[in-house]
Amino acid sequence: MHLTCTVVKVVMVVGMLMVMTPNSDALSGKTPPGPGLLGSFTQLKRVVSDFFRSRSAAEMISEKEGGLYQLNLGLSKICFINSRGFRDEAFLEKYHLFSDRGVESNKKQLPEELMQWRGTIRDNGAASEEARAFVNSTLKETSYLRTTVETQIEEAIAFFDDELTGAIPSDLVVPKMIFREHVLDVMTRIAFDTAGHRNTISGQWQFQKFFEDVDALSNSVLFQPGFISTVLPNTKVDDYETNLVGVAKYLKERAEEAIYTNRETSLVQRYSDFFLKRESSIAQPEDGWRLMYDFFTAGVNTVPEVITWDIYYLASDLDLQDKIRQEMKNFGTDVTYDDRTSLPRTMSFLTEVHRLRPVATLGIPHAASADGTIGGYAIDKETLIIPNHWAMHNDPADWQSDPQVFDATRFLKLNGNDLTFDSDKARIVTPFSVGPRSCPGQEVAAGPSF
């Protein structure tokens, strides 16, 4: 994605005018540290090119001094949070100020005719609170996870095991693709209570095309809501318009099918039942596909990436493999996700993977819904707030050993003579973020990885 000379000139003029004109930051207090206009654009281009896929941009931002770092882009500002203290202040203590996705950003992100096909990730205010209420009663509710989700995951794993047993070496050349197919099956069973592996997707909706569309959306839309279009107003959406509508229409059809056939344990049917009982002028019972849109575009790439790193680190350390295998053998029964607290070595290993290889080194942008402060720094309304998971997971103050070195024992401690999982230390690791806008499907994501 490149800036045209015209755009650069316009933004430079606007920026110089802003420098010469007193603004709310100057009047209300200190501004977060950051480069000038040209430096901001140079660093922005790197962030855009590396966003989500690479950790180099997150490392660059984490090297800056202080817990906040702000790019000043004329009329727009992007503030990165590098410290857990500032993140908790923004997303927990002041969530009412910093939990939006950006009203103006939403208007610029997509043309009006495409807004009907978007998911719930950009919703603000009451619409966001309604979606959160449903998520809290399902994807974050223990009994639902145990009675429904765990069963659906186990069914998908059984099918996956059969597929691996019957596979030939040439089938295993691209491990991540295999994991993606498995995760798609898991998510389809949860969302629509039906299998979602390669054999069930045919006709116009080709299996490979689905992943191509989701790739485009997860890189361009879901993980950058309002981000690019805020600072580059002339950015075209033609590249992913077809992907957006295609994925949305497919999920809407699957949702309608699940509701029509009354698949009671499907997530989309529970959504319909939830809003039939709730008076709402925003969400409707038939809108469940919008939440499924977020569910799929957020998970089909990220969960397989974590599993791939799990396999990589295990394959690199045969001694670690043996210890984890022996721990599970000593447990004595078939291991399920509910048993994780009894497997400290396994949990320490998985937590370390999440720490060093978070699914998104830079988190989904929030936006300030009003003028406010973080750590005493003035934050203007509509400033985009991006948590830097890489910086927070690699803060030397939190770790006794080099944080950039993989250490599968990092979250183990001795309790008397017993080796236990250090859950207090593990709370530092937050790849799914924190607060009301944290990832709604984090428990679902953890199941296949475990």
Annotated binding site for heme: 439
Binding residues: 439
Tell me the CA distances in angstroms from 424 to 152, 427, 428, one per residue in order.
30, 5, 8
Read off the tokens for 90.
């923004």
Q: Measure the CA–CA gap between 435 and 220, rounded to whole angstroms.
A: 24
Q: What residue has token string 């100020």?
A: 97
Phi, psi of 87 (to 5 degrees): -60, -45
> Do residues 351 and 426 lie in contact, with contact meaning Cβ atoms separated by under 8 Å?
yes
Q: Measure the CA–CA gap between 14 and 231, rounded to whole angstroms.
A: 12
Please give the full DSSP string across 335-373, using - where no structure is assigned: --GGGGGG-HHHHHHHHHHHHHS-S-SBPPPEE-SS-EE
Q: For 171-245, list the strands marked E by DSSP.
A: none
Count of C-beta atoms within a 10 Å radius of residue 339: 14
Count of C-beta atoms within a 10 Å radius of residue 154: 16
Q: Would you give the DSSP letter of residue 209?
A: H
> Do residues 389 and 383 lie in contact, with contact meaning Cβ atoms separated by under 8 Å?
no
Q: Measure the CA–CA gap between 324 and 333, rounded to whole angstroms.
A: 14
Q: Would you give the DSSP letter of residue 218?
A: I
The H-or-E segment that residue 240 falls in is: helix 238-260
> Do residues 221 and 240 lie in contact, with contact meaning Cβ atoms separated by under 8 Å?
yes
Q: What residue has token string 């592996």?
A: 197
